[in-house]
């Protein structure tokens, strides 16, 4: 379903978009499950005598069931959305553009990072000195006191 439209193009971009979206969806449904666990009617086990999945230790409560249904339905809708022609075409174009990018070498990235950190440190020192000096000047002008 994800690769119906132009199945040989944009595979990396489509898979990345799908799995990152599923990860965010899972986190949202996990939070939903925790929120729904506060509702009294959804706290109890779904099946009497089978409260916890043995291998995973997950409580089979109503909150878990609701969150699972929301997760599965949303993942299905996400899969259908990413399989649409317009969305797939966009992701194919994204991957084609990413292949044109010239990525910096590790040495270039390291040197650029050092320059940025050094520049930020100098700017931070300048702003701290300016703040200190201006505070002293305003204290002298307004109150005739240099203590600050």
Q: Is the same domain home to 56 and 40? A: yes
Are both 47 and 80 inside the same structural domain? yes
Q: How many CA atoms lie within 13 A of 113 on its CB side?
A: 7
54 and 119 belong to one structural domain: no
User: Containing domain of residue 51, as a range?
Assistant: 1-101
* Confidence class for position 29, pLDDT limits 50, 70, 90: very high
Asked if 16 and 65 sit in the same domain, the reply is yes
- 111 and 67 in a single domain? The answer is no
Residues 19 and 64 in one domain: yes
**How confident is the prediction for the chain on average, in pLDDT?**
87
79-88, 109-118, 138-147: which range is least confident on average?
138-147
How many structural domains is the chain composed of? 2
For residues 61 and 111, membership in a common domain is answered with no
Structure-block tokens of residue 79: 């899969």
Contacts of 146 (CB under 8 A, 6+ apart): 136, 139, 140
Q: How confident is the model at residue 56 (pLDDT cuts 50, 70, 90)?
A: low
Same-domain status, 7 and 79: yes
| DSSP conformational letter for 59 | B
Rg (CA), the chain: 28
Instruction: From 85, 101, 117, give the residue that closes a domain.
Output: 101
For 39, residues 6+ apart whose C-beta sits below 8 A from its C-beta are 62, 63
Specify the pLDDT at position 134.
93
Verify that 29 and 66 share a domain, yes or no.
Answer: yes
* Predicted model pTM: 0.65
Task: Taking residues 89-110, report their average pLDDT.
Answer: 93
Q: Mean pLDDT over residues 22-32, rounded?
A: 95
Residues 84 and 123 in one domain: no
Q: Is the pLDDT of residue 148 over 60?
A: no
88 shares a domain with 16: yes
Confidence of residue 20 (pLDDT cuts 50, 70, 90): very high
């Amino acid at each position: 379903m994800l690769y119906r439209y132009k199945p040989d193009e944009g595979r990396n971009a489509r898979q990345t978009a799908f799995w990152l979206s599923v990860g965010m969806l899972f986190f949202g449904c996990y939070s939903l499950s925790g929120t729904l666990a506060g509702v009294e009617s959804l706290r109890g086990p779904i099946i009497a005598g089978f409260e916890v999945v043995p291998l995973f230790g997950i409580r089979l409560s109503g909150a878990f069931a609701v969150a699972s249904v929301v997760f599965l339905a949303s993942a299905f809708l996400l899969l259908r959305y990413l399989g649409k022609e317009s969305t797939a075409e966009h992701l194919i174009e994204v991957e084609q553009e990413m292949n044109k990018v010239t990525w910096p070498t590790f040495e270039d990235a390291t040197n650029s990072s050092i320059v940025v950190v050094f520049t930020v440190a100098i700017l931070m020192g300048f702003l701290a000195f300016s703040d200190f000096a201006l505070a002293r000047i305003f204290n002298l002008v307004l109150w005739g006191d240099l203590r600050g």
